[in-house]
Amino acid sequence: MESLSTIQKAIDYIEENLKNDISIGQVAAAIGYSEYHFLRIFKRFVGLTPASYIRKRRISEIVGSMENESGSRPISDIAFEYGFNSKENFIRAFKAEHHILPTEYRRHGNSLKLYGRFELVPKCEGPLCDIVELDAFRVVAFPSDEEDPTNFWNRYNVNGLSSRLSGGRTVTDYGVCRWNASTERLDYWIGIDEHDAAGDTRGTVTLSLSGGLYGVFKTSPATHIDFVGTIGKTWDYIRDVWLPQSRYERRHDYEFERYVEESRLFSETIFIPIQIKNE
């Protein structure tokens, strides 16, 4: 049985050397493991290969530095500090991670899915839940072609698709999802309420969201640096804590997130269709 303290030692070593050259052999040696054994256990505990974890953490730290520097330093200087030997290499890595360019991120300031230091024992906290009854409504939305909805949100915001759908007005955006049993994947769409769709709706579909009981969770206030992480933790809390402990269960229907990007409040509301458990 692997020791959590051993894995923690590997994480500590990586975090202390994010600005230095790190080889897998060095990290393995620091915890007294062979490279093969280290690769196997790291992936099992962390869910990423060491190389992926290091890349994601470096990119996330660079984004944080970009914010702290307030545009006073070139991106290439910050990237070089974290081991990217050229601006082109960093741009390729950033786009592969987030599906937009660093300059697009800096211009629009949208929220990215950043990776903080891995927590072996994450905190299990979450917001209070309101139980509400909603009327049925419809959302005009673009279907996602991304595996990770976060990358689709990046493109949606950078390309101004909300404004295009609304005819230039600032309106609430909806991220709608539903598990597809036939494809065994999550289907995801982003759009606006049908009543707000007064603009160009080419490429969209219209989703009918049923009325009924919903559990409503508001994410805690965040900055755009940690906003996506806060959303992820809220979804984890709903799934792992609130639903198992409540008297409700998921009702098979669309779940959705609601957020106004232009508000810059970096808090969203999550709606889960629910019904009372059969006990």
254 and 178 in a single domain? The answer is: yes
My answer on whether 150 and 30 are in the same domain is no
Question: Has residue 37 got a pLDDT over 50?
Answer: yes
Q: With H, G, I as helix, E, B as strand and everything else as coil, classify residue 218.
A: strand
Residue 117 lies in a domain: no
Please tell me the predicted confidence (pLDDT) of residue 68. Answer: 74
Which position has the higher pLDDT, 29 or 67?
29
The number of domains in the chain is: 2
Do 139 and 25 share a structural domain? Answer: no
Secondary structure, 3-state, 17-80: CCCCCCCHHHHHHHCCCCHHHHHHHHHHHHCCCHHHHHHHHHHHHHHHHHHHHCCCCCHHHHHH
246 with 202, same domain: the answer is: yes
> 83 vs 193, which has greater pLDDT?
193
Whether residue 179 is found in the same domain as residue 98:
no
The answer on 142 and 96 residing in a single domain is no
Domain with 194, as residue range(s), is 129-276
**Do 90 and 154 fall within a single domain?**
no
Regarding whether 227 and 139 lie in a shared domain, the answer is: yes
Q: Give the single-character DSSP code of 103.
A: H
DSSP secondary structure code for residue 210 in this structure = P
Give the separation between CA 8 and CA 30, rounded to whole angstroms: 11
Q: Verify that 103 and 155 share a domain, yes or no.
A: no
Residue 134 has pLDDT above 50, yes or no: yes
| Range with the largest mean pLDDT of 72-86, 105-119, 179-193, 220-234 | 179-193
Residues 256 and 133 in one domain: yes
Cα–Cα distances (Å) from 193 to 157, 172, 256, in that order, read: 16, 8, 12
Non-local (6+) Cβ contacts of 102 within 8 A are: 66, 75, 90, 91, 94
- Whether residue 120 is contained in a domain is answered as no
For residues 52-76, average pLDDT: 84
Q: What is the mean pLDDT of residues 237-256?
A: 92
Residue 138 lies in a domain: yes
Beta bridge partners of 138: 208
Interacting residues of 140 by C-beta distance below 8 A, sequence separation 6+: 165, 191, 192, 193, 194, 197, 201, 204, 205, 206, 207
Among the candidates 79, 108, 137, a domain finishes at: 108
> Using 50, 70 and 90 to split pLDDT, how confident is the model at 279?
low
Residue finishing a domain among 73, 108, 143: 108
| CATH code of the domain covering residue 240 | 3.20.80.10
159-173: average pLDDT:
96
C-alpha dihedral (155, 47, 14, 25), degrees to nearest 10 = -120
Helix (H) or strand (E) holding 156: helix 149-158
User: 276 near 247, Cβ under 8 Å?
Assistant: yes
| Lookup result for tokens 């409503």 | 216
pLDDT at 126: 73
- Do both 80 and 170 map to the same domain? no
Dump pLDDT digits (tens) for 73-121. 788 888 999 989 888 999 999 999 999 998 888 888 778 888 888 877 5
User: Both 171 and 271 in a single domain?
Assistant: yes
Length of the chain: 279
Query: Average of pLDDT values for 229-257?
Result: 92
Domain membership flag for residue 122: no
Residue 231, pLDDT score: 92
**Other beta carbons less than 10 A from residue 30's beta carbon:** 16
Distance of CA 140 to the CA centre of its chain: 22
CB 116 within 8 A of CB 226: yes
Closest CA to 174 of 210, 138, 200: 138
Q: Is residue 124 assigned to a domain?
A: no
Q: How would DSSP label each residue in 163-187?
A: HHHHTS----EEEEEEEETTTTEEE
Domain CATH number, residue 22: 1.10.10.60
**Is residue 20 a part of any domain in this protein?**
yes
